[in-house]
Amino acid sequence: MPIAFWPAHWTRLQRSNATLVTALLLLVLVVATLGRLFSWLPEPIGSNAQTFAEGARTTLWLTLVSGAVGLVLGTATALARTSRWALLRWVARFYLWVIRGTPLLVQILFVYFALPLLVPGLRLPEFAAAVLALGLNAGAYNSEAIRAGLLAVPLGQTEAARALGLGRRHVFLDVVMPQAFKMALPPLVSNFVALLKDSSLAYAIGVVELTNVGHRIQSVTFQPIATLTTVALTYLVLTTLVTQATQAIEYRFDIEGRSQ
């Protein structure tokens, strides 16, 4: 639901909350009723409606879990990159160098097939391996957005907070981090939406998400147009609703600097 749809006399907070709640409710409704909606479509979609619905739910769940992992890793890496300790900065740079310099598909395959050989006894299920690889990849890109936000906070605000007697922890949590998060929010939102689409690469290790479902059905029915069109439209609906929810969060924090 676009922000402009709501009454003009509503406050920014009211419009953002209404958009966020509406987008989330629509997302839950779509995911819950997707199987029934697809069952009305002609073959080969109708007979595989529940399979498509389960694939869409797996895609969404994979995105949410990986996004949470990526946010935590990104924050930790950004803090390490701005740390006073050289060892932490070196480890963070090495992590970013490896992840940002290799394809995501290779990373997913490495975590699933090669990691158990490097760490004996560590055999991750397909879903867990995909979450780990996607989370590592998202964390690398999130870290640069968060680090840019941290560096964008004026040094004078930190010095003023310390002059008022605030400790280092309170300065960071109450002064620096809120402003850094606000400035980092747009690229973080963009990374999350991109993660929803990148989760399709998990099909390479057998995760039964939306792309994998479409590939299996078109391989059996030999009807790629209907099958892949359904997959593409499902991704389009999911990304549209997720984008509306994330834009509502941006609007809530007045990212563009317009108070209304």
Question: In this predicted structure, what is the pLDDT of residue 255?
Answer: 56
166 domain-assigned: yes
For residue range 230-253, list pLDDT tens digits in order: 999 999 999 999 998 888 887 777
2 domain-assigned: no
Question: In this predicted structure, what is the pLDDT of residue 254?
Answer: 65
Question: In this predicted structure, what is the pLDDT of residue 121?
Answer: 78
219 domain-assigned: yes
Look at the alpha carbons of 44, 47, 50, 51 in this order and tell me if their dihedral is positive or negative.
negative
Question: Residue 91 maps to which CATH number?
Answer: 1.10.3720.10
61 domain-assigned: yes
236 domain-assigned: yes
- Domain that includes residue 53, residue range: 11-252
Residue 200 — very low, low, confident or very high, per pLDDT cuts 50/70/90?
A: very high
259 domain-assigned: no
For residue range 115-147, list pLDDT tens digits in order: 988 888 788 899 999 999 999 999 999 999 999
1 domain-assigned: no
pTM for this model (two decimals): 0.89
